[in-house]
Amino acid sequence: MRPTVYGIESLAGISLDSGTRLTLTDGPLQLGWKHSGMTSDFIAEVMALRYSSSRKGYMQAHHDIGYLSNELIENAVKFRQPGEILIEAGIFDGSFLIRVQNTIDGVTSARFQQLLHRLQSRDPGELLLEQIETNAISTASGSGLGLLTLLSDYDAKMAWAFEENEGERIILTTTAAVAMPPSSNP
């Protein structure tokens, strides 16, 4: 069965084979929040090196890569079913691309697809302001601010592919790209 794709469909099909590939694996210590932070810091350190000839360029690249990576990996850790999280990342044609793949359950998939459908019909900046207002008066968790911030403030280009797996398990593949500062390094 063909995956259901939201966002920029061509982004979902881009090959990241020449990039970096990491796999977070469940183990006796369980995958947790600290793993998303450590992993995104590692990715930012490695990917921002090509911008090291300019302190400003390096700091901007490191920040943007770290923020984007952390948001995607945190969501994968938070909403996943037990199992591995595959992360692929690289710098291609002046953009940082990251792809995070994990397994989610059917209920999470349906809820997330509703949110994505809403995102496609509205301006992310408007939705971000609405969500900030909603969060200010609500005690519920699961704010969605990270995703909206990526789309609105970082002008991230994103794609989400939902592919049915076994039973109620869905493979979610999230691909995102953000423009990087020009690099003067070869």
**pLDDT in 10s for each residue of the chain, 186 residues:** 789 999 999 999 999 999 999 998 876 656 676 778 899 999 999 999 999 999 999 999 999 999 999 999 999 988 888 889 999 999 999 999 999 999 999 999 999 998 888 887 777 777 767 767 776 676 665 567 788 888 888 889 999 999 998 777 899 999 999 999 875 444
pLDDT at 29: 58
- The 10 Å Cβ neighbour count of residue 122 is 10
pLDDT at 135: 66
Domains and CATH numbers, the chain: 4-179 (3.30.565.10)
Q: Tokens 């369980």 belong to which residue?
A: 30
CA 43 to chain centre: 13
d(CA 69, CA 161): 18
pLDDT at 139: 63
Q: Model pTM? A: 0.88
pLDDT at 28: 60
